[in-house]
Structure 1
Amino acid sequence: MPVRGSTLRDILAFDDSGRLRLLLAPAGQDVAVRGVVFGDEEGTRSAEACAVLAVGPPVSSAGAVAAVRGAAGRGAAAVVLRETEGVLPAPEVLAAAEESGLAVLARAAWADWTDTAALLRSALSYAGTDRVEGPPEMPDAAAGGLSALAAAIAEYTGGAITIEDTRFRVLAHSATRSEADGVRRSTILGGRVPEWRVAELRRSGILHALWTSRDVIHRPADGDSPERLIIAVRSGPEVLGSIWVAADGRSLFPRAPDALRRAAEVAAPHLISHRLRESAAVRRRDHALRGLLYGRGDARTHAWSLGLSPDAPCAVLAVERADGALPPSAGRTLDVLALQAASYRSTVLVLREPERLLILLPVGSAQDRDVVRLAKELDALAVSLPGGAPVRVGAGSVVSSTLGAAASCEEALLVLRVLRGRGGGAEGEPRWATAAGLGPSLDVLRVLDAARPLWEAGSGPVHDLVRADLSAGGELVRSLAAYLDTSGDVARAAQRLVLHPNTLRYRLRRARERFGVDVDDPDTRLLLMLGVRLTAEN
């Protein structure tokens, strides 16, 4: 719900992740903000005194002027535009905002719109919590953070408190008395609920009740385990975490359930903020790692952000599913391989992309042996998993500095292309390879990539043959490819195509008679080979 009294200043103070940056505030930072809407919701929701998320052109583009004027015309208090890393805001955009009196915020390049909307809504809720008088069970508890909130809940329930996220990690707890049971002590000392305890709660149905109920759950004392009250902390339908109250050595207060209900409401913005901070840290890391691996932005800055020494030698491995048509379990295989790679060495960094993994492996004195060992390990693990799917693993060369990681990454992706072209992943075919082990194959791919624009813009008999035949099924192109691959040996090429040699000779003659392509001419043969390889790459 929009909250009166929330301001732009409150939002900026709440954002400790660096997701938002204030570019302009013509009316000052104390302008009221009462809600959040997306820019494409025009006509369906009012934007009066709201922050409008403009998902179109970035703030560096003059095209964002329309978004600024549109938000101002709907009475918005602020507009949030996407930032382009390293590019200044367009002067026209700032001028339009200045003219309309609209505040302009830039969303960090590494962030996304979903988390940004959650951040703004949480900030508005949090800012309003400090200003709304609550029942006597929880006065102003939100002001001091989760630790203060845990202490306040303990005071008004008479129990010992833990506030946990959905992975049962302890985010805050109240003081522990000497009467505390063993589960509470081990949970606080370990920073999370022990796995055996989570399994026990799952078997007993407590967790199912917790995730599905909106009210306080009561668990009676059982042996050494004291009486407990539990409630899920929610934001709408989404569960953010839970609050646990244990009666350590004394009875809980009669109104403890009422205090716990109020505490869950107060805790929600805090848990949203915690989740956003975690999400921001992961996104910043992935953004820096992606920039380092793909050569975008300043490599030294990315390395520094990732805690990597620029002088450390490293190599990049790329992993993809061997068959894109595999069942969903193949995606889970990549998830497991990501965990395995991350555990190979504490300095390993893994970028999980939708269809592949990119692994930055800082190497020790073993260097190439490190790379080969990890490639073999991932290959073997993939096929050994229950329902596991084979993968292809391509390893780039070891580079002397993390600043050169993009070159190793480029090689790793080229290795995958070579393996893909050779049927890597099929039975009997190699599923992993290093750049050094593929000889000139990588250079051939580089030449093909450089020649592709020239081929696509070209014309002539060879182009006519390839284009016409591919549109008719590609029979002639496949025949020519086999003939060229066998250095003009008709018998071997026909055997590869499972044809009679005379049939292949007929097709070669047809290429000459219909398209004027003479396969005995060296230049024609070279151009034909280039065209066949380029079309095969597609």
Structure 2
Amino acid sequence: MTTEPSRDVPVRGSTLRDILAFADSGTVRLLLAPAGQDVAVRGVVFGDEEGTHSAEACAVLAVGPPVSSAEAVAPVREAAARGAGAVVLRETEGMPPAPEVLAAAEESGLALLTRAAWADWTDTAALLRSALSYSGTERAEEPPEEPDGTAGGLSALASAIAEYTGGAITIEDTRFRVLAHSATRPEADGVRRSTILGGRVPEWRVAELRRSGILHALWTSRDVIHRPAHGDSPERLIIAVRSGPEVLGSIWVAADGRSLSPQAPDALRRAAEVAAPHLVRHRLRESAAVRRHDHALRGLLHGRGDQRTHAWSLGLSPDAPCAVLVVERADGARPATDRTLDVLALQAASYRSTVLVLRERDRLLILLPVGDARDRDVVRMARELDALAVSLPGGVPVRVGAGSVVASALGAAASCEEAVLVARVLRERESRGRAEGEPRCATAAEAGPSLDVLRVLDAVRPLWEAGSGPVHDLVRTDLAAGGELVRSLAAYLDVSGDVARAAQRLVLHPNTLRYRLRRARERFGVDIDDPDTRLLLTLAVRLTAGTFSAES
């Protein structure tokens, strides 16, 4: 993955000090700089292909051992041998740097930096390259940045859009926070005034837009959306700002006391293209905060680390009741599920400003602080996400499992564990052919005793896998031969020993099923009429359910 130093990053004015001043979000941290902080840094390269490319005066990202390991001495010395000006190693949370690594950097005169444990190499590289580009060219060529870190060009863009469209402009991110706006006229409606004064769209307004379908259209459309004037609310034009398929934010045009220009839609389309790199940069500057946020949320939901610290860093009151929902792709879902999950994440985040969403590989984990409605909030969100998934263009079904409301954010891990189990209940009902006509979402209460069954199965699985005897021999031998007998037993046990119903489910003649059941007794010595044997068989076929389907 080694890359040449970026050709568009100038040497002029780019120093280690510049990088540290730009990267002030905690993503990278300086451990030592034997040659001082004014050494030139002209590019960023990855160091996992030894000596393939020049690294002269570059910052080398060493993706191997962490700074806490003595094995990191080797990449430090390799970077120094290639003429690097600095080397970046990853931190291990709670672990100090290895003395040998510090000594190697000191001896070679190489600046040693670390990448935060919650960050990743892709964002670290992008941050450092942005720092070099900013220090080399942007100060001379672009307007100065505003105090909040948003490029001054975004405010200038808002003013230009206002001039071309004849309306009042707000440029917002995907959480409806205002990044820039044009001048507000005295005739501005109350929503615009409260949005600008509060720095974000009011929650009641976001809820209204969600109910009306405007947000659904915004996340899925690539063209200008027109909202006619209604009551005190003036005519509005809206367009999503995108980078490829990813939604970065939106631009809103309001006709404050005057008519919009006939060319306003065309101007807005061009403005969305111009705004995209600005919003990409804004997102890059926020990436460190997002990584820290996700690190804390992941720790809170999975019960890792200090739960009170995680809650505090996420802005959650430890005493606030909450619940966790899990949204996962359905089995066999098309790749479009990734896009569906992205839209569902945006929809969940718009439900309430305090909602926190964690995107994992094939699922979303949603932390929902609840108010007086408590359980009703959870049910409402679960059903809303389920309905939205299949209504999207090219949408695919998902499963939504909701954990119980817990009294405190410190108990979120328990609700998350339960939500995952509810999703497993839905998955098993599908695999056993019992989901037809049933919803694809459920709460812990709706999952019923199936939750406790899964907990029991998880607890006994190690005992089953380590055991032996006739039932074990039957299951292992038959699964190796295709699982015909185990499928038959699963169907038979699932209908409480009703041969006719089990045969119908298996699309067999009842006598064929009776013959298979006799084989279990005659070949393996398994007496299905014995209560203990029947219980063990029930556990066995449930524990091996992932290997076969009762419908196949």
Does the 8 Å CA contact 2:150/2:282 hold for their aligned counterparts? no
Q: 1:127 to 1:442 in 2, by over 3 A?
A: same
What does the per-residue CA deviation read over 1:298-337, in whole Å, with 9 as the maximum and x for residues that have no partner?
2212211221111000111112233433362x44433333
What displacement does 1:130 show? Answer: 8.3
Secondary structure at 1:350's aligned position in 2?
Answer: strand
Matched, 1:404 2:411: yes
Secondary structure at 1:281's aligned position in 2?
Answer: helix
Does the 8 Å CA contact 1:240/1:272 hold for their aligned counterparts? no
Question: CA separation in 1, counterparts of 2:410 and 2:545?
Answer: 34
Q: 1:496 to 1:96 in 2, by over 3 A?
A: same
Q: 1:64 to 1:472 in 2, by over 3 A?
A: farther
Within a 5 Å distance, the mapping from 1:154-233 to structure 2 comes to: 199=224
Secondary structure at 2:347's aligned position in 1?
Answer: helix
What displacement does 1:365 show? Answer: 1.9
Number of the residue aligned with 1:390? 397
What does the per-residue CA deviation read over 1:473-510, in whole Å, with 9 as the maximum and x for residues that have no partner?
11111112123323444344333323233322322232
What does the per-residue CA deviation read over 1:434-475, in whole Å, with 9 as the maximum and x for residues that have no partner?
112223211221222233333334444333322222222111
Q: 1:94 to 1:505 in 2, by over 3 A?
A: farther
Number of the residue aligned with 2:105? 97
Secondary structure at 1:18's aligned position in 2?
Answer: coil
What does the per-residue CA deviation read over 1:172-220, in whole Å, with 9 as the maximum and x for residues that have no partner?
799x899xxx9xxx99x9699xx9xx949xxxxxx99xx9xxxxxxxxx
Q: 1:60 to 1:465 in 2, by over 3 A?
A: farther
Number of the residue aligned with 1:364? 371
What displacement does 1:522 show? Answer: 4.1
Does the 8 Å CA contact 1:165/1:241 hold for their aligned counterparts? no
Number of the residue aligned with 1:343? 350
Secondary structure at 2:323's aligned position in 1?
Answer: strand
What displacement does 1:350 show? Answer: 2.0
Which of 36, 59, 67 is the equivalent residue of 1:28? 36
Matched, 1:56 2:64: yes
What does the per-residue CA deviation read over 1:35-61, in whole Å, with 9 as the maximum and x for residues that have no partner?
211012433311222111122233334
The amino acid that maps onto 1:348 is V
Question: CA separation in 2, counterparts of 1:529 and 1:512?
Answer: 16
Q: 1:142 to 1:3 in 2, by over 3 A?
A: farther
Number of the residue aligned with 2:296? 288
Q: 1:450 to 1:103 in 2, by over 3 A?
A: farther
What does the per-residue CA deviation read over 1:250-301, in whole Å, with 9 as the maximum and x for residues that have no partner?
xxxxxxxxxxxxxxxxxx9x98763322223333322222221122222212
Secondary structure at 2:385's aligned position in 1?
Answer: helix
Does the 8 Å CA contact 1:310/1:402 hold for their aligned counterparts? yes
Question: CA separation in 2, counterparts of 1:15 and 1:271?
Answer: 18
Secondary structure at 1:511's aligned position in 2?
Answer: helix
Matched, 1:495 2:495: no
Matched, 1:83 2:83: no
Question: CA separation in 2, counterparts of 1:53 and 1:463?
Answer: 51
Within a 5 Å distance, the mapping from 1:296-375 to structure 2 comes to: 296-326=304-334, 328=336, 330-375=337-382
What does the per-residue CA deviation read over 1:415-446, in whole Å, with 9 as the maximum and x for residues that have no partner?
00001111199541232211122232112212
Q: 1:292 to 1:470 in 2, by over 3 A?
A: same
Secondary structure at 2:399's aligned position in 1?
Answer: strand
Number of the residue aligned with 1:10? 18
Secondary structure at 1:527's aligned position in 2?
Answer: helix
Number of the residue aligned with 1:470? 479
Question: How many percent identity over aligned positions?
Answer: 77
Which of 413, 420, 430 is the equivalent residue of 1:423? 430
Does the 8 Å CA contact 2:333/2:397 hold for their aligned counterparts? no
Number of the residue aligned with 2:460? 451
Larger-gyration structure (1/2): 1
Question: CA separation in 2, counterparts of 1:367 and 1:521?
Answer: 46
Question: CA separation in 1, counterparts of 2:34 and 2:373?
Answer: 59
Structure 2 segments unaligned to the other structure (5+ residues): 1-8, 158-162, 201-217, 226-239, 245-259, 548-552
What does the per-residue CA deviation read over 1:64-100, in whole Å, with 9 as the maximum and x for residues that have no partner?
3332232233222222122233333344433433443
Does the 8 Å CA contact 2:418/2:444 hold for their aligned counterparts? yes
Which of 378, 383, 397 is the equivalent residue of 1:376? 383
Question: CA separation in 2, counterparts of 1:331 and 1:147?
Answer: 29
Number of the residue aligned with 1:236? none
Q: 1:71 to 1:447 in 2, by over 3 A?
A: farther
Matched, 1:531 2:537: no
Question: CA separation in 2, counterparts of 1:82 and 1:352?
Answer: 23
Does the 8 Å CA contact 1:10/1:123 hold for their aligned counterparts? yes
Question: CA separation in 2, counterparts of 1:443 and 1:166?
Answer: 42
Aligned pair count reads 472
What displacement does 1:170 show? Answer: 8.7
Question: CA separation in 1, counterparts of 2:90 and 2:413?
Answer: 26
Task: Judge which range, 457-466 or 432-441, deviates more.
Answer: 457-466
Normalized against structure 1, the TM-score is what?
A: 0.73
Normalized against structure 2, the TM-score is what?
A: 0.72
Matched, 1:435 2:437: no
Matched, 1:108 2:116: yes
Secondary structure at 1:89's aligned position in 2?
Answer: coil
Secondary structure at 1:33's aligned position in 2?
Answer: coil
Q: 1:478 to 1:173 in 2, by over 3 A?
A: closer
What displacement does 1:521 show? Answer: 4.1
Question: CA separation in 1, counterparts of 2:542 and 2:151?
Answer: 67
What displacement does 1:148 show? Answer: 10
Question: CA separation in 2, counterparts of 1:344 and 1:109?
Answer: 30
Question: CA separation in 2, counterparts of 1:394 and 1:525?
Answer: 31
Question: CA separation in 2, counterparts of 1:504 and 1:173?
Answer: 72
Structure 1 segments unaligned to the other structure (5+ residues): 155-159, 201-206, 212-221, 234-238, 243-267
Question: CA separation in 1, counterparts of 2:540 and 2:487?
Answer: 12
Question: CA separation in 1, counterparts of 2:68 and 2:459?
Answer: 31
Number of the residue aligned with 1:219? none
Which of 503, 509, 512 is the equivalent residue of 2:518? 509
Matched, 1:43 2:57: no
Does the 8 Å CA contact 1:165/1:271 hold for their aligned counterparts? no
Secondary structure at 1:40's aligned position in 2?
Answer: coil
Number of the residue aligned with 2:550? none
Does the 8 Å CA contact 2:345/2:357 hold for their aligned counterparts? yes
Secondary structure at 2:544's aligned position in 1?
Answer: helix
